[in-house]
Amino acid sequence: MTAPLLVFAWGNASRGDDALGPLFIERLRTAIDADLAVRVEFLEDYQLQVEHALDLVGRARVLFVDASASCAAPFEVLPLHAARDASFTTHAVSPQAVLHVFRDLQHAEPPPCTLLAIRGGSFDLGSPPSARALANLSAALVWAHRWLAAP
Amino acid sequence: MSFDLETAAAPQGLRRVAIDPVSRVEGHGKVTILLDAQNRVHQVRLHIVEFRGFEKFIEGRPYWEVPVVVQRLCGICPVSHLLAASKAMDRVLGVDAVTRSAESIRRLMHYGQVMQSHALHFFHLSSPDLLFGFDSEVNRRNIVGVAEARPDLAKKGVLLRKFGQEVIRATAGKRIHGTGSVPGGVNKHVARADCNALRRDVSQMLEWAQDAINVVKLLHAQNPALYDAFGSFRSNMLSLVRADGALDLYDGTLRARDAAGAILVDGADAQRYLDLIEEEVRPWTYMKFPYLRSLGREAGWYRVGPLARVQNCDFIPSPLAEAERQEFAAGGRGAPVHATLAYHWARMIELLHTVEVIGRLLDDPAILDGDLTAGGARRGEGVGIIEAPRGTLIHHYRVGSDDLVTMCNLIVSTTHNNQAMNEAVRSVAREYLDGRELSEGLLNHIEVAIRAYDPCLSCATHALGRMPLDVALLGPGGELLDRLLKSHTGEVLRTMDAPVGLPG
């Protein structure tokens, strides 16, 4: 059975603060109790892609999580709406475009989706996440518990 | 000596146009064009502005960790790196041949990887350009535009890719960070339930892959002048082939043909690739330029990837794809096809082949049962070569007696194609830009030529907020004359505010 809540994070664990997405999943997964765990699915990938639209099927709510080089620290929360975009710079698409693909494939509106952008600053290969980014991650995790507990 | 249009004879006083980064290309790529006052093209270069240093990242790690860690090289084809590293480490462990089960499971994993990558490339990266035209409205040239105009095509693309990823999950253990392939073999069989579930979908995938070839053939037939000439140039071609000359994406020996199709090199042992290939460094880009040693730098450069593979082999060992290869080859009337846009046709022939092979491997009992690993007398060095979705991928390692990697050399497909991509860009610049006013549509022609090779610069970093397209026009003194930014939403903005700072 499909879990009603989906937390989807992306990033590269070997790329400094780009690891914030995978770390978010790793830490949140171990921090929730068993009752909540059955209601949440955690997914991770290197990049967001079109087929991830299929991961949204049957969900009540979805949280997208990524490191951001431009959002306000420690993190920003934005409601997501389906939108065409031209963000095909890195073989990856934006969360908004994933929602748009969902709409086209399923002929229905996607579930309510939220973007959690966690501020990072250094994305060098082989570097560990910076102390500042990890502090931002901690703040984001506190917020995430509220998102999970929401009705 | 420089290649035509690589370096302007008198760069002083020329205007420079930069496309930075090339949209829909992973990593950081940039094209600079030097124009004179009459907009005549004097110099065109595809630069790679990011130095990855991944080899240094690998050195010092224990050998058994390498196949997993190298997957972080690339967010699009991590399995290719997993398998190339595993094959190299097989040799380090003295395993010249893995067990039958391991070979079948690895092949299944690899063909699943190539299938999903090819599906992604055609349906989501290239089809917007091909279906709508290179000059079409910029906001339509994306997969969302395809989904609106051709919902059937977009859905097939998503589901083909999903199937390929399920093959990877069933063989590698997970959709990403898979650990199924290890030095010396694999660590698990395919579960019977996964095998049965995948087998049920094979006939549907075959039908859709055939549909994809038909779309490409139709596009070629509708505008043969464009498809035969766009970005076309003659080159050598390099790939692995099986011992009997068949197309083989997982293993084999190296074969190179010249531009007329004559075999230059055949049966070259992967372990001795350095006897065959040399890499040249040029001062204006971080990416090296490989070439065949025997021919030298000016005559020895070559292409890799689908266009090279389907023409380097003598036949494709699956009936549907072989029939398509023969039809494709007939278009060359006895000579190799060199058209840049023919990459898409060749890629779809390979897509069909991968589905045929996947179907066959799912019927192989060795994926469900049998020995998983083999052993041998330890060596200190190993090379693993595989045909990744974009072309030949070489992993070369030396490992010390303490199990730590002391040397790592990687030649990725995009590096093999470096000279070829530069030639394609120059061909397009000569044909479409020379003497004309620049426009977004014209600049997209350059990007179309690059995307045919599907360069993957493998940084896999994608923080939110990046600008997909940055076009800067600079004066003879380097001063910013004009600049266009294409925003995250596809909106085009003219601005002189942000710094440019692009090296020549």
CATH no. for residue A99?
3.40.50.1450
Beta strand spans in B163-216 (E): 181-182, 185-186
Q: Which residues of B touch A64 (CB under 8 A)?
A: none
Alpha-carbon gap: A104 to the closest alpha carbon of chain B (Å): 6
Same domain, B27 and B176: no
Comparing A141 with B5, the larger pLDDT belongs to: A141
Residue % of chain B over a pLDDT of 70 = 78
Last residue of a domain, one of B358, B387, B415: B415
pLDDT computed for residue B231 by the predictor = 87
Same domain, B343 and B369: yes
Amino acid at B264: L
Comparing B388 with B478, the larger pLDDT belongs to: B388
Same domain, B94 and B43: no
pLDDT computed for residue B72 by the predictor = 76
Contact A3, A40 (CB under 8 A): yes
Buried b (16+ CB within 10 A) or exposed e, B451-465: bbbbbbbbbbbbbbe
Res. B246: pLDDT tops 90: yes
CA separation for the pair B47, B503 (Å, rounded): 10
Same domain, B103 and B132: yes
What does the pLDDT profile of chain A (151 residues) look like in tens digits? Answer: 899 999 999 888 888 898 999 999 999 999 999 999 999 999 998 878 878 999 999 999 999 999 988 889 999 999 999 987 654 333 567 888 899 889 888 889 999 999 999 999 887 777 899 999 999 999 999 999 999 999 8
CA separation for the pair B106, B115 (Å, rounded): 14
The residue with tokens 């970005």 is: B231
Cβ distance B461 to A123 less than 8 Å, yes or no, reads yes
Alpha-carbon gap: A50 to the closest alpha carbon of chain B (Å): 7
Q: Which residues of A touch B54 (CB under 8 A)?
A: 125
Same domain, B44 and B64: no
pLDDT computed for residue B377 by the predictor = 96
Same domain, B263 and B395: yes
Res. B436: pLDDT tops 80: no
Query: Is B284 part of any domain?
Result: yes
Last residue of a domain, one of B390, B415, B440: B415
CA separation for the pair B52, B122 (Å, rounded): 27
Nearest to A88 among B24, B158, B176 (CB): B24
Q: How many domains does chain B have?
A: 2
Same domain, B300 and B375: yes
Query: Is B9 part of any domain?
Result: no
Cβ distance A89 to B464 less than 8 Å, yes or no, reads no
Contact A13, B68 (CB under 8 A): no
Amino acid at A43: L
Alpha-carbon gap: B177 to the closest alpha carbon of chain A (Å): 9
Nearest to A104 among B53, B148, B462 (CB): B148
Alpha-carbon gap: B115 to the closest alpha carbon of chain A (Å): 14
Same domain, B117 and B39: no
Nearest to A54 among B124, B162, B462 (CB): B162
Query: Is B310 part of any domain?
Result: yes
- Of A127-131, B63-67, B136-140, B456-460, the range with the lowest mean pLDDT is B456-460
The structure tokens listed for B108 are 């299944």
Query: Is B502 part of any domain?
Result: no
How confident is the model over B334-350, as a mean pLDDT? 94
Summarize pLDDT for B151-199 with one digit per residue, the tens: 677 788 888 988 998 999 999 987 777 789 999 999 999 999 999 999 9
Summarize pLDDT for B212-237 with one digit per residue, the tens: 899 889 888 888 888 898 889 999 99
Same domain, B58 and B38: no
Contact B31, B433 (CB under 8 A): no
Amino acid at A96: Q
Last residue of a domain, one of B415, B446, B477: B415
Contact B178, B172 (CB under 8 A): yes
Same domain, B117 and B31: no
Beta bridge pairs of residue B393: B386
Cβ distance A70 to B464 less than 8 Å, yes or no, reads yes
Query: Is B8 part of any domain?
Result: no
Nearest to B465 among A69, A85, A125 (CB): A69
Same domain, B150 and B71: yes
Query: Is B289 part of any domain?
Result: yes
Q: Which residues of A touch B139 (CB under 8 A)?
A: 84, 86
Cβ distance A44 to B176 less than 8 Å, yes or no, reads yes
CA distances from A115 to A63, B43, B75 (A): 6, 43, 21
Three-state secondary-structure class, residue B247:
strand
Same domain, B406 and B432: no
**Listed residue (B385, B367, B397, B444) closest to B199, CA to CA:** B367
Query: Is B5 part of any domain?
Result: no
User: How much of chain B is in helix, strand and coil states, percent to nearest 5?
Assistant: 45, 20, 35
Could you tell me the CATH number of the domain that includes residue B384? 1.10.645.10
Q: How many domains does chain A have?
A: 1
Summarize pLDDT for B288-304 with one digit per residue, the tens: 899 999 999 999 999 99
Summarize pLDDT for B81-116 with one digit per residue, the tens: 999 999 999 999 999 999 999 999 999 999 999 998
- Distance from chain centroid for Cα B358: 21
What global pTM score does this model have? Answer: 0.86
Cβ distance B139 to A86 less than 8 Å, yes or no, reads yes
Tell which of A20, A51, A93 to mutate to test the B interface (max B CBs under 10 Å): A51
Alpha-carbon gap: B261 to the closest alpha carbon of chain A (Å): 33
Res. B462: pLDDT tops 60: no
Cβ distance A86 to B488 less than 8 Å, yes or no, reads yes
Cβ distance B75 to A47 less than 8 Å, yes or no, reads yes
Band of pLDDT at residue B458, cut at 50, 70 and 90 = very low
Nearest to B158 among A12, A50, A71 (CB): A50
| Cβ-Cβ contacts under 8 Å for B331 (sequence gap 6 or more) | B220, B337
pLDDT computed for residue B487 by the predictor = 47
Give the phi and the psi of residue B170 in degrees, each rounded to 5. -70, -25
Comparing B466 with B323, the larger pLDDT belongs to: B323
Alpha-carbon gap: A32 to the closest alpha carbon of chain B (Å): 23
Comparing B426 with A29, the larger pLDDT belongs to: A29
**Listed residue (A151, A149, A150, A145) closest to A24, CA to CA:** A145
pLDDT computed for residue B383 by the predictor = 98
Domain that holds residue B475: 15-50+423-494
The DSSP result for chain A, as a single string, is: ---SEEEEEE--TTSGGGGHHHHHHHHHHHHS-HHHHTTEEEEEESS--GGGGGGGTT-SEEEEEEEESSSPSSEEEEEE--------TTS---HHHHHHHHHHHHSSPPPPEEEEEEE-----TTPPPPHHHHHHHHHHHHHHHHHHH--
Tell which of B118, B153, B464 to mutate to test the A interface (max A CBs under 10 Å): B464
Q: Which residues of B touch A48 (CB under 8 A)?
A: 462
Comparing B21 with B10, the larger pLDDT belongs to: B10
Domain that holds residue A47: 5-149
CA separation for the pair B200, B489 (Å, rounded): 39
CA separation for the pair B165, B115 (Å, rounded): 9
Give the phi and the psi of residue B477 in degrees, each rounded to 5. -90, 10
If you average pLDDT over every residue of chain B, what do you get?
Answer: 83
The ipTM is 0.80
